[in-house]
Amino acid sequence: MDSAIGRRDRRNQDQRGLVRPGVPHEPPTPAPRARSRPASTITMAVVAVAGVCVASCTSTPRPAIEVRSNAPRAKAISEDAVGGASIARNVAARLYPALAKEAGSGNIAYSPTSIAVALGMARAGARDASAQQLDRFLGSPGPALDRGLNGLSWNLSDRAGKRKDVNRQDAMVELELANSFWGQRDISWKRPFLDVLGREYGTGMFEVDYEKDAAGSRLAVNRWVAEQTHGKIPDLVKPNVFDSQTRLSLVNALYFAAPWAAQFDGARTRPFTTVAGTKVDASMMHHLLHTTYRRGDHWQAVTIPYAGNELAMTLLVPDAGSLATVEASLDPAFIDILDAPAAPDSSANRAVSLTMPIFDLDDRPDLTAALKAVGVTAPFTTTVDFRPVTTDPRAPGLQLAEVVHQATVSVDEKGTVASAATVDVFRATGAPLETKPPIDLVVDRPFLFLITDLVTHAPLFIGRVADPTKP
């Protein structure tokens, strides 16, 4: 099948497969003041983006040049995609406790798939302690990690396109993934590293000048993110993230937009009890659907399919007072169980009278702190572990400086639009009706949600709605 990834890769490559005009580069503007850091370290940034973005500019752009490996993008098999989905579930579960602690009583949103791909690209250039810690966190060694994430990207690209809703009407599902690598110009990068990025992640290297124009480099990366994500995340890389010590940025972009298989009824205002225990007036929508419903200790879960029934949102609704208990049990196996569809004759396939809030989240969790909290510390302190990326004297002591992530998830009666972005910055130094009455589920208290691919069980987005009236 001619997938979206394959079509994009051919567009991005000239006849030689080496270079092509890239994303417009803004003219130089004054760079932000550099923060103090050890003089012996240089930074590399890995950006993972999932979503919709639009950036505006008023000046004449200067094109960047993309240098690509001759290695063709590797085709993937279904087993690879399953492995990639497992990696994404690991990321979802292992980051959640740290992000929930940081959020306190607030909302949470992040994209495990986007984060996994961004860190996978960083792992392709790592060795020793940094490689071992990333492998442990992601749950897969280097070559299998690359094949799995490539397989998942290929597989997810097949979810996009025209689908049918429950009324057999045409509906469009959008699911787009893209990667890019932004390196300091005139630095010599290791060919094996570039080959892995080309073969498994479908990207070459855009040349920018962090040393003399960190602000312009930031604008170029943000514009690429904006283009790939259709307008949801226009300012992912903030002014002080890049500086003259930055040497590279690895970027993943993921954008998702889909209508429900069947639309909800119009919204009405109903009370919602927040994590803090206060009551707010929330816009609630209602739908009677036949779908997968599960009841566990202290929780209920219901799966809401999107058009085409290949992607779905699952709501995990803890019983009153049980949020912390349920969050503590969120591991990869639990996530796998939650999004597994029930067979048509299964007792888990039920009629559900669902009332849930409309919500619009925009979250920038501190992934640097979260990764360190789960044991990924070496990439942030090493001065030698990223030598497989480059040994150029202008990039001594390459290390991961910070990881920036942003996710937006908007849910209403018609469907969902979701986006996310992650930056790792490295510096030098439908079923038959039942006879049983429908389950009445009113989601009027904090709940978790997962947007998943039902084919591979990959979690695209995960989050917590503590207060639907806030972003």
Residue-wise pLDDT for 196-242, tens only, equals 999 999 998 899 999 999 999 999 999 998 898 888 999 999 998 99
Q: Which residue has the tokens 């124009």?
A: 213
* Cα 11 to Cα 286: distance, rounded to the nearest angstrom: 43
Task: Convert the pLDDT of each residue in 129-140 to its tens digit.
Answer: 999 999 999 999
Task: Convert the pLDDT of each residue in 167-189 to its tens digit.
Answer: 899 999 999 998 989 999 999 99
CB atoms within 10 A of CB 324: 11
Total number of domains in the chain: 1
How far apart, in Å, are the Cα atoms of 129 and each of 213, 379, 385? 32, 8, 7
- Does the pLDDT at position 38 exceed 50? no
CATH number at residue 400: 3.30.497.10
314 part of a folded domain: no
Range of the domain at 105: 4-260+359-429
DSSP 309: S
The pair of structure tokens assigned to 174 is 């959008």
* Cα 289 to Cα 279: distance, rounded to the nearest angstrom: 27
Task: Convert the pLDDT of each residue in 342-362 to its tens digit.
Answer: 655 566 788 999 999 999 999
Band of pLDDT at residue 337, cut at 50, 70 and 90: confident
User: How far does CA 112 lie from the centroid of its chain?
Assistant: 5
pTM value? Answer: 0.86
Residue 344 pLDDT: 58
Using CB atoms within 10 A of its CB, is residue 452 exposed (0-12), middle (13-18) or buried (19+)?
buried
105 part of a folded domain: yes
Helix (H, G, I), strand (E, B) or coil at 117: helix
CB atoms within 10 A of CB 10: 11
- Does the pLDDT at position 340 exceed 60? yes
Average pLDDT, the chain: 84
For the segment 274-287, the average pLDDT, to the nearest whole number, is: 95
455 part of a folded domain: no
Residue 347 pLDDT: 65
* Cα 339 to Cα 342: distance, rounded to the nearest angstrom: 9
49 part of a folded domain: yes
For the segment 374-400, the average pLDDT, to the nearest whole number, is: 93
Residues 270 and 280: beta-carbon distance below 8 Å: no
Nearest residue to 96 (alpha-carbon basis) of 333, 401, 367, 423 = 367
User: How far does CA 471 lie from the centroid of its chain?
Assistant: 18
Residues 386 and 76: beta-carbon distance below 8 Å: no
Using CB atoms within 10 A of its CB, is residue 280 exposed (0-12), middle (13-18) or buried (19+)?
middle
444 part of a folded domain: no
R_g over Cα of the chain? 22
Element (H, E) at 23: strand 19-25
173 part of a folded domain: yes
Residue 57 pLDDT: 30
Residue 435 pLDDT: 54
50 part of a folded domain: yes
Element (H, E) at 223: helix 210-228
Q: Which of 58-62, 84-88, 135-139, 330-334 has the lowest mean pLDDT?
A: 58-62
* Cα 466 to Cα 80: distance, rounded to the nearest angstrom: 35
Residue 252 pLDDT: 84
108 part of a folded domain: yes
- Does the pLDDT at position 105 exceed 60? yes
